[in-house]
Chains A and B, each alone.
Chain A
Amino acid sequence: MEGAVARAAAARAEPRRRLRDQEWFWGYAMIAPLVLGLGVFYLWPVVQSVYYSFTEWTLFGDSTWVGLANYRELFTGPENAKALKNTFVYAVWSLAGIPLSILVAALLNARGLRLVSFYRTIYFLPVVTMPAAVALIWRWLYNGDYGLINYLLSLVGVQGKSWIAEPSTALYAVVVVGIWMSVGYNAVIFMAGLQGIPRHLYEAASIDGAGPVRQFFRITLPLLSPSIFFVSVLTVIGGLQMFDLIYLMFGKANPAYADNKTVVLLFFNKAFEEGAKGYGAAMAVVLMLITLVLTVVQFRMQKKWVHYA
């Protein structure tokens, strides 16, 4: 009797177990290519890079353990302090693009506005265009002798400069291009955030006699703060890793090149042009730590100003 019950239970459980076995098998099989690829090309390399940061490489490809020597060198080189400062300057000034993106998003969200997808396409052109092409265009616009920018300035009586060849202006000239390239991208994120704000809040506010400006500061901005937080974290991380525009806009012959390198450009010089792999790895590790610290600080500070509905 009991045996029969157990047999019946086993018979019922049998297909379910087979199903579960099948699910396990397919689960592992379906994640296998990705796990293998990410493991070999991303996860293991992180471990290797950390190890390399304690070694020095010879021209023949051998490496020897040097302990903290790379890190010591990192903190004493004047070149590094300058690159770090440039990187921070770039990242902080990049944040200036956020108010612009919010403005664009808020305008595009105006009720009854036509041509939204037309404007969106235009604002998005710099986002999708190849950075190598963008850099080229702007180098020409910034050109001290034949550049359009200086010509336009001369029309209003301002004497222009060789913006990207001048050590004091070169970095800011690139910041402008960086902001120009990212306004459309950030505006899309802000538009999604704006669409999440319930209309009735505005209706209630206008009944209470609040004008558009007051509504913007009392309703829109606080309720948009999660998006603002997200975009500013992305902007700072992107700024800290700035490479493309700086590399492309400053040729080696540029007098501003040496003074305006960012950390990642220096990393590229060291690890791939000079072959100092251990030293380059140490730079990458320090950059990761800086990114981590700044992101944690931003997450801590978010409690003070980010409102989640």
Chain B
Amino acid sequence: MRSGRLWPVHLTLGIGAAAMVAPFFWQVLTSLKSFTESTRTPPTWIPSWQWSNFAKVVEDTPFLQQFGNTVVMTTGRTLAQLLFCSMAAYAFARLRFPGRDAIFIVLLSVLMVPSQLFLIPQYQIVQELGWLNSLPGLIVPGMFSAFGTFMLRQFFLNLPGEVEEAARIDGASPFRIFWSVMLPLARPGLLALGVLTVLWSWNDLMWPLIVNTDPERMTLSAGLSALQGEHFTEYPVLMAGSLLASAPIIVVFVVLQKQLIQGIAFTGSK
């Protein structure tokens, strides 16, 4: 197809793209309106630039604490997953030990179970440990992932064996080989899993909603949903809050989109 004939493609994709961004465009406009302005019909297209809506979210709600909780939860879960999953993935892919494949299959079975089946006992464990309304309660169950292990194992399986063999002859221990030789080679896989985990963690709703009910201890997603219930009518303020809450992840996506897309394409091409 010559590029001159691509205009119908651009037209269709453009209409779709407009449908994708229009809600966000309206969110930004609404966040800059006053309350009475937001309820006007026909709607106003030029807002009166109420930047104070953003200040209001930060001042009137525990937004900053919730932001901090979300950052700590997301970082904690992601770093732990990268460490635990890559260690186990390397062992499952490259080391020989009795029971290896059986253990791997049992772990994979976790992927097939709907999360509701874990929730009640997980809640009880966290409750018994005294971790309700705390950061460990938010972080710890999300530190382990069967999916991440499966994904990284595929990466390790596909790496060449020569470097590893050379290090082994030099007398390096399996952990040393993993840490200094193989881990750097698996960087694309680690990045892809990292971005997926950040995304999944930042946006996670049900678990944070269950374990942290104190507004100061909530994450942004739970806080935002609680806010919707209380300040039902203050839509411009709510829009400002939701913009602030979702902006960081959008920035992460724009910066690391290649890795994220790779990770997702990978899940579809087993």
Contact surface of A with B, Cβ cutoff 8 Å:
19-20, 22-24, 26-31, 33-35, 37-38, 40-46, 48-49, 52, 103-104, 107-108, 110-115, 117, 119-126, 128-141, 145-146, 148, 151, 180, 183-185, 188-189, 191-193, 196, 227, 230-231, 237, 240-241, 243-244, 247-248, 251-253, 264, 267-268, 271-272, 277, 280-281, 283-285, 287-288, 291-292
Tell me whether B238 and A136 are in contact (CB under 8 A): yes
Contact (A251, B239) CB under 8 Å given A34-B87, A141-B26, A284-B117: no
Known A34-B84, A41-B125, A131-B221; judge A243-B206 contact (CB<8 A): yes
Contact bitstring B5-28, A, C-beta under 8 A = 1, else 0: 010011011001101110110110
- Residues from chain A with a CB closer than 8 A to the CB of B73 are none
Is the CB–CB distance between A126 and B224 below 8 Å?
no
**A252–B229 CB distance below 8 A:** yes
Shortest Cβ distance from residue B176 to the other chain A in the assembled complex, whole angstroms: 9
A42 touches B261 (CB 8 A): no
B175 interfacial by beta-carbon distance below 8 Å: yes
Asked if A41 and B220 make an inter-chain contact with CB atoms under 8 angstroms apart, the answer reads: no
Question: Chain A nearest CB: distance from B157 CB in Å?
Answer: 15
Contacts of B46 in A (CB 8 A): none
A112 nearest in chain B by CB position: B3
Q: Which B104-121 residues have a C-beta within 8 angstroms of A?
A: 106-107, 109-110, 112-121
- 13 further A-B pairs in the complex, CB-CB below 8 A; given A23-B95, A30-B87, A110-B9: A41-B141, A45-B120, A108-B13, A133-B242, A136-B27, A137-B23, A146-B40, A244-B205, A244-B206, A248-B205, A253-B232, A272-B119, A292-B112
A191 close to B265 (CB less than 8 A): yes
B residues adjacent to A (C-beta < 8 A): 1-3, 6, 9-10, 12-13, 16-17, 19-21, 23-24, 26-27, 30, 38-43, 83-85, 87-88, 90-92, 95-98, 100, 103, 106-107, 109-110, 112-123, 125, 140-141, 143-144, 146, 149, 168, 173-175, 178, 199, 202-203, 205-206, 210, 220-222, 224-225, 228-229, 232, 235, 238-239, 242-243, 245-246, 249-250, 252-254, 257, 260-261, 264-265, 267-269
**Chain A hits for B168, CB < 8 A:** 19
Contacts of B10 in A (CB 8 A): 113, 115
Interface of A is mostly: helix
- Complex CA gap A287/B174 in Å reads 42
User: With A and B bound together, what is the CA distance between A288 and B268 in angstroms?
Assistant: 22
Contacts of A288 in B (CB 8 A): 113-114, 116-117
Please give, as numbers and ranges, the residues of chain B lying within 8 Å of A113 by CB-CB distance.
Answer: 3, 6, 9-10
Residue from A44, A188, A243 in contact with B121 in the complex, judged by beta carbons closer than 8 Å:
A44
Once the chains are docked, how many angstroms separate the CA of A285 from the CA of B143? 24
Name the one of B107, B220, B225 contacting A34, with C-beta atoms under 8 angstroms.
B107
Q: Which residues of A contact B9 (CB under 8 A)?
A: 107, 110, 113
CB neighbours (8 Å) of B39 from chain A are: 145-146
Beta-carbon contact of A34 and B245 below 8 Å: no
Q: Are A24 and B97 in contact (CB under 8 A)?
A: yes
Q: Whole-angstrom distance from the CB of A90 to the nearest CB of chain B?
A: 15
B92 vs chain A, min Cβ distance (A): 7
Residues of A within 8 A of B112 (CB): 292
Q: Assess the B20–A111 pair: CB atoms within 8 A.
A: no
- Residue from the list A20, A22, A251, A271 in contact with B119, Cβ < 8 A: A271
Residues of A within 8 A of B23 (CB): 126, 134, 137-138, 141, 180
A-B contacts, 5 listed (Cβ < 8 Å):
A38-B107, A130-B224, A140-B26, A180-B20, A188-B264
A30 touches B245 (CB 8 A): no
Contacts of A115 in B (CB 8 A): 10
In contact, B242 and A137 (Cβ under 8 angstroms): yes
| Chain B minimum-CB-distance residue to A278 | B120
B264 touches A35 (CB 8 A): no
Q: Please state if B115 and A26 are interface contacts (CB–CB under 8 Å).
A: no
Pick the contact of B220: A124, A129, A130 (CB < 8 A): A130
- Check A30/B91 contact, CB under 8 A, given A130-B245, A140-B30: yes
